[in-house]
Amino acid sequence: MIKFENEELMNISIQQLMIPGDKVAHVQIGNNLEHALLVLTKTGYTAIPVLDPSFALHGLIGMNLIMDNIFGLERIEFEKLEAMKVEDVMDTNIPRLFLDDTLEVGLDLLVNHPFVCVQNSEKIFEGIFTRRAILKRLQKGT
Ligand code: AMP
Protein backbone atom coordinates (compact mmCIF):
# COMPACT_ATOMS: atom_id res chain seq x y z
CA MET A 1 0.00 0.00 0.00
CA ILE A 2 1.24 3.52 -0.83
CA LYS A 3 2.27 5.32 2.39
CA PHE A 4 2.02 9.05 2.94
CA GLU A 5 3.26 11.09 5.91
CA ASN A 6 0.02 13.06 6.25
CA GLU A 7 -2.06 10.59 8.23
CA GLU A 8 -5.00 12.96 8.65
CA LEU A 9 -5.27 13.37 4.89
CA MET A 10 -4.99 9.62 4.27
CA ASN A 11 -7.83 8.92 6.71
CA ILE A 12 -10.38 11.14 4.98
CA SER A 13 -13.32 8.98 3.90
CA ILE A 14 -14.13 8.25 0.28
CA GLN A 15 -17.62 9.66 0.93
CA GLN A 16 -16.09 13.13 1.41
CA LEU A 17 -14.18 12.96 -1.87
CA MET A 18 -16.43 11.12 -4.31
CA ILE A 19 -18.58 12.56 -7.08
CA PRO A 20 -22.14 11.78 -5.83
CA GLY A 21 -24.26 9.37 -7.86
CA ASP A 22 -26.73 12.01 -9.07
CA LYS A 23 -23.86 13.75 -10.90
CA VAL A 24 -22.51 10.59 -12.51
CA ALA A 25 -23.51 9.67 -16.06
CA HIS A 26 -24.65 6.04 -16.22
CA VAL A 27 -26.61 3.53 -18.28
CA GLN A 28 -29.18 1.01 -17.13
CA ILE A 29 -29.41 -2.75 -17.52
CA GLY A 30 -31.56 -3.30 -20.61
CA ASN A 31 -30.17 -0.32 -22.53
CA ASN A 32 -28.67 -1.27 -25.88
CA LEU A 33 -25.12 -0.52 -27.02
CA GLU A 34 -26.32 2.29 -29.26
CA HIS A 35 -27.62 4.17 -26.23
CA ALA A 36 -24.40 3.54 -24.27
CA LEU A 37 -22.32 4.76 -27.21
CA LEU A 38 -24.44 7.91 -27.40
CA VAL A 39 -23.98 8.65 -23.67
CA LEU A 40 -20.22 7.98 -23.82
CA THR A 41 -19.77 10.13 -26.91
CA LYS A 42 -21.86 13.04 -25.64
CA THR A 43 -20.27 13.10 -22.17
CA GLY A 44 -16.73 12.42 -23.40
CA TYR A 45 -16.14 9.80 -20.67
CA THR A 46 -14.23 6.63 -21.48
CA ALA A 47 -16.34 4.39 -19.25
CA ILE A 48 -19.48 4.74 -17.11
CA PRO A 49 -21.33 2.55 -14.55
CA VAL A 50 -24.15 0.15 -15.44
CA LEU A 51 -26.95 0.26 -12.85
CA ASP A 52 -30.33 -1.41 -12.45
CA PRO A 53 -33.58 0.44 -11.63
CA SER A 54 -32.86 0.13 -7.88
CA PHE A 55 -29.43 1.72 -8.46
CA ALA A 56 -27.50 -1.49 -7.73
CA LEU A 57 -24.10 -1.49 -9.45
CA HIS A 58 -23.61 -4.26 -12.04
CA GLY A 59 -20.49 -3.25 -13.94
CA LEU A 60 -18.82 -0.74 -16.24
CA ILE A 61 -19.20 -0.14 -19.92
CA GLY A 62 -16.64 1.71 -22.01
CA MET A 63 -15.99 2.71 -25.57
CA ASN A 64 -13.34 -0.01 -25.97
CA LEU A 65 -15.73 -2.80 -24.94
CA ILE A 66 -18.40 -1.59 -27.34
CA MET A 67 -16.01 -1.26 -30.28
CA ASP A 68 -14.43 -4.62 -29.53
CA ASN A 69 -17.84 -6.29 -29.69
CA ILE A 70 -18.98 -4.80 -32.99
CA PHE A 71 -15.80 -5.53 -34.94
CA GLY A 72 -16.54 -8.55 -37.13
CA LEU A 73 -13.93 -10.41 -39.19
CA GLU A 74 -14.61 -8.42 -42.34
CA ARG A 75 -16.55 -5.36 -41.31
CA ILE A 76 -17.89 -3.33 -38.42
CA GLU A 77 -21.25 -4.88 -37.55
CA PHE A 78 -23.18 -1.71 -36.77
CA GLU A 79 -26.46 -3.64 -36.44
CA LYS A 80 -25.11 -5.12 -33.19
CA LEU A 81 -25.33 -1.69 -31.57
CA GLU A 82 -29.10 -1.97 -31.55
CA ALA A 83 -29.32 -5.70 -30.96
CA MET A 84 -26.91 -6.08 -28.04
CA LYS A 85 -27.55 -4.96 -24.46
CA VAL A 86 -25.05 -3.33 -22.12
CA GLU A 87 -25.17 -6.38 -19.84
CA ASP A 88 -23.93 -8.56 -22.75
CA VAL A 89 -20.59 -6.76 -22.91
CA MET A 90 -20.07 -4.84 -19.62
CA ASP A 91 -17.11 -5.56 -17.38
CA THR A 92 -18.39 -7.07 -14.13
CA ASN A 93 -14.97 -7.71 -12.65
CA ILE A 94 -14.50 -4.23 -11.25
CA PRO A 95 -13.00 -2.84 -8.05
CA ARG A 96 -15.47 -1.30 -5.62
CA LEU A 97 -15.05 1.10 -2.72
CA PHE A 98 -17.31 1.53 0.31
CA LEU A 99 -18.41 4.92 1.64
CA ASP A 100 -16.31 4.66 4.78
CA ASP A 101 -13.14 3.40 3.08
CA THR A 102 -10.25 5.83 3.47
CA LEU A 103 -8.44 7.86 0.84
CA GLU A 104 -5.45 5.56 1.44
CA VAL A 105 -7.47 2.53 0.26
CA GLY A 106 -8.85 4.45 -2.70
CA LEU A 107 -5.42 5.68 -3.73
CA ASP A 108 -4.16 2.14 -4.15
CA LEU A 109 -7.04 1.28 -6.50
CA LEU A 110 -6.60 4.44 -8.56
CA VAL A 111 -3.08 3.37 -9.51
CA ASN A 112 -4.63 0.94 -12.02
CA HIS A 113 -8.06 2.49 -12.65
CA PRO A 114 -8.94 6.05 -13.73
CA PHE A 115 -11.96 5.90 -11.41
CA VAL A 116 -13.55 3.47 -8.96
CA CYS A 117 -17.25 3.06 -8.14
CA VAL A 118 -18.41 3.60 -4.57
CA GLN A 119 -21.27 1.55 -3.09
CA ASN A 120 -23.02 1.31 0.27
CA SER A 121 -23.37 -1.80 2.40
CA GLU A 122 -26.41 -2.90 0.34
CA LYS A 123 -24.38 -2.74 -2.89
CA ILE A 124 -26.28 0.35 -4.01
CA PHE A 125 -24.27 2.74 -6.17
CA GLU A 126 -23.35 5.96 -4.34
CA GLY A 127 -20.85 7.65 -6.65
CA ILE A 128 -17.38 7.47 -8.14
CA PHE A 129 -13.91 8.25 -6.85
CA THR A 130 -11.69 9.70 -9.59
CA ARG A 131 -8.00 10.43 -10.08
CA ARG A 132 -8.93 14.07 -10.55
CA ALA A 133 -10.57 14.18 -7.08
CA ILE A 134 -7.50 12.75 -5.40
CA LEU A 135 -5.10 15.03 -7.26
CA LYS A 136 -7.18 18.06 -6.31
CA ARG A 137 -7.09 17.02 -2.66
CA LEU A 138 -3.35 16.35 -2.68
CA GLN A 139 -2.74 19.70 -4.34
CA LYS A 140 -4.74 21.35 -1.54
CA GLY A 141 -2.59 19.39 0.95
CA THR A 142 -5.03 19.39 3.89
P1 AMP B 1 -11.28 12.24 -14.39
O2 AMP B 1 -10.39 11.79 -13.27
O3 AMP B 1 -12.19 13.38 -14.00
O4 AMP B 1 -10.51 12.51 -15.64
O5 AMP B 1 -12.29 11.05 -14.74
C6 AMP B 1 -11.79 9.78 -15.14
C7 AMP B 1 -12.91 8.93 -15.68
O8 AMP B 1 -13.92 8.83 -14.66
C9 AMP B 1 -13.67 9.49 -16.89
O10 AMP B 1 -13.08 9.17 -18.12
C11 AMP B 1 -15.00 8.77 -16.75
O12 AMP B 1 -14.87 7.44 -17.25
C13 AMP B 1 -15.20 8.75 -15.26
N14 AMP B 1 -15.99 9.92 -14.85
C15 AMP B 1 -15.53 11.08 -14.30
N16 AMP B 1 -16.56 11.92 -14.00
C17 AMP B 1 -17.69 11.26 -14.36
C18 AMP B 1 -19.10 11.59 -14.31
N19 AMP B 1 -19.56 12.75 -13.82
N20 AMP B 1 -19.97 10.67 -14.79
C21 AMP B 1 -19.54 9.48 -15.29
N22 AMP B 1 -18.23 9.11 -15.35
C23 AMP B 1 -17.32 9.99 -14.90
CATH number of the structural domain spanning residue 121? 3.10.580.10
pLDDT of residue 22: 97
- Ligand 1 atom closest to the CA of 133, numbered from 1: 2
Long-range Cβ pairs for the range 43-49 (8 Å, 24+): 46/114, 47/114, 47/115, 48/24, 49/24, 49/117, 49/125, 49/128
Residue 2 lies in a domain: no
pLDDT at 110 over 80: yes
How many residues are recorded in the chain?
A: 142
Residue 103 inside a domain? The answer is yes
Specify the number of domains making up the chain: 1
Residue among 31, 63, 58 at smallest CA distance from 46: 63
Is residue 64 lining ligand 1, measured as CB closer than 6 Å?
no
Q: Is residue 129 part of a domain?
A: yes
Domain that holds residue 19: 7-140
pLDDT the model gives residue 3: 60
Does residue 131 register a pLDDT over 80? Answer: yes
Single pTM value for the model: 0.91
pLDDT tens digits, one per residue of 92-101: 999 999 999 9
| Distance between Cα 87 and ligand 1 center (Å) | 20
Q: Is residue 117 part of a domain?
A: yes
Which whole number is the average pLDDT over 46-61?
Answer: 97
Q: Say if 1 falls within a structural domain.
A: no
